[in-house]
Structure 1
Amino acid sequence: MIQIDNVSKTFGGIQAVRGVSLEVAEGSITGLIGPNGAGKSTLFNMVAGLFPPSEGRVLLDGRDITGLPPHKLFHLGLVRTFQIPHEFSRMTVRENLMVVPPGQSGENLFNAWLRWGRVKQEDSAVLDKVDDVLDFLEITHVADELAGNLSGGQKKLLDLGRTMMTDARMVLLDEPGAGVNRTLLGKIREAIQRLNRERGYTFCVIEHDMDLISALCDPVHVMANGELIASGAMTELRRNEQVREAYLGGGMSGQMGENARPSNQGDAS
């Protein structure tokens, strides 16, 4: 679905990403890992249209989308989340979901005054979809809570809900497990797996939690110093000396998920 072809990015003489090529297959949950400063977020930002690559190209279903801005990618079904959620804090969870679908007739003052029947019909359809999202993610109990009052894990679930309101086909998830307690992390993992399995979403996931990556992702791509250094299943990558050295040299724990569940046990409780 996504093809990244020899992509590089330079900032003021510093090369943050160097000639990376990889694919995210349709229907997969693909992982992207590496120590801090490896270039993962920079690569995500280029795919998501936040800035263009210095070299190379990005394809979506064979279409060149290199440098297209996020709002155009949104209409092509490609969206991303952020490590720190960007909710509308003074709106309720339900309202946060309601404002997502594009092109609502009620956004136009003329329609709101003179085509209220059409607006009402569309609003009813949006509310039905909101109810479906709330139920799917098991957050109906906070539907009328201000989004700013949610816990970190609940905000991550709300982020997933907003992608569901777009009918996204390709979702870039930036550290969905960051700052989330273990109970809600399990719900987030299950929601991602169900969206992939039951509704056909394709995901690419940046994450530092190797247990989560091991449970969710196959394949996994590893970056270090702006380059792609390895790809494969987590069971293989844990034994890869270049990968282990990258993590140890990056000042991380170096555990590489030795105690994590293998990916084929991702549905275990």
Structure 2
Amino acid sequence: MIEIERISRAFGGLQAVREVSFTVETGSITGLIGPNGAGKSTLFNIIAGEIPPNSGRITLEGEDITGLPTHALFHKGLVRTFQIPHEFSRMTVRENLMLVPAAQRGETLLKSWLTWWKVIREDRAILRQADEVLDFLEIGHLRDELAGNLSGGQKKLLDLGRTMMTNAKAVLLDEPGAGVNRTLLGKLAEAIERLNRERGYTFCVIEHDMDLIARLCDPVMVMANGALIASGDMATLRENPEVREAYLGTGASGQAGAA
């Protein structure tokens, strides 16, 4: 699905990403882990079109998307969530979802005047889709709640719901577990698994919660000092001395087993 080939990025004299290459296979949930400062977020931002790489190439289903801006990638089916959700706080949960689909007729003044019946029909279809998404995520009871009133975990579910309002081929999840209580984290993990299993969503996930990574992701990529140092399933990576040293620090083998 996504091919990352020898991607590098420097900021002044700091080499944030060093010739990183890996593949996010179609239908997979691929994890990306590493200590703070490893280069994960920079790489994510490059893939998502936030910043361009200095060198290297990214393809989506064989198409070169290197350096394309975020809005262009959205239309190609590559979408992302953020560590800190960006909801429209003074709009309802349902309205937040209804904003997402692109090229709505009601966004054009002339079409609103001349083909108003088509605008109404389209709005009803989008409303039905939004309600289906909310029911899928088991937050239908919040549909008329202002998004700004949601808890951190509920906002993460709303963020996931917005990706479901698109024709996404691949979804980049930036620390979906950050700030989420354990109950809602379980619900969020279940929703990601169901989207992957039942609807064929492909995910790439940055996360610091190793329990969540172990539950969701195979394979898992490990970065340190801007480079990819290991990959595989979590059981294998837990036994990798280089991963223990880079990710958990010296003498942390006991912690690695606990993780």
After TM superposition, give the deviation of residue 249 of structure 1 in Å: 3.2
Look up the match of 1:267. none
SS at match of 1:37: coil
In the alignment, the residues of structure 2 paired with residue 30 and residue 172 of structure 1 have an alpha-carbon distance, to the nearest angstrom, of 10
Q: Report what 1:212 is aligned to.
A: 212
Q: TM-score, normalised by structure 1?
A: 0.94
Which secondary structure does the structure 2 equivalent of 1:31 belong to?
A: strand
Instruction: Give yes or no for contact 2:244–2:252 (8 Å, CA) kept in 1.
Output: no
Q: In the alignment, which residue of structure 1 is the partner of 2:83?
A: 83
Match of 1:23 in 2: 23
Query: 1:157: Cα distance to partner?
Result: 0.1
Q: Tell me, yes or no, if the aligned pair for 1:2 and 1:23 is still in contact at 8 Å.
A: yes
Q: For 1:52, what is the secondary structure of its paired residue?
A: coil
Counterpart position of 1:136: 136
Amino acid at match of 1:67: G
Match of 1:151 in 2: 151
The one-letter amino acid of 1:133's match is: V
Q: Give the CA deviation at 1:12.
A: 1.1
Q: How far off is 1:167 after superposition? A: 2.1
What's the offset of the Cα at 1:88?
0.4
Q: Gapped runs of 5+ residues in structure 2?
A: none
Name the amino acid aligned to 1:177: G
Q: TM-score, normalised by structure 2?
A: 0.97
Gaps of 5+ in 1: 261-269
Matches within 5 A, 1:238-253: 238-249=238-249
- Identity in percent: 74
Runs of at least 4 residues off by over 4 Å: 250-254
Tell me by how many angstroms 1:139 deviates: 0.5
Separation in 1 of the partners of 2:251 and 2:35? 8
Whether the 8 Å CA contact 1:35–1:250 is kept in 2: the answer is: no
Distance (Å, rounded) in 2 between the aligned partners of 1:36 and 1:25: 25
| Equivalent in the alignment of 2:192 | 192
Provide the residue aligned with 2:109 in structure 1.
109
Alpha-carbon RMSD: 1.5
1:26–1:202 contact (8 Å) kept in structure 2: yes
The aligned residue for residue 264 of structure 1 is none
Equivalent residues of 1:18, 1:226 under 8 A apart: yes
For 1:212, the aligned partner's letter is L
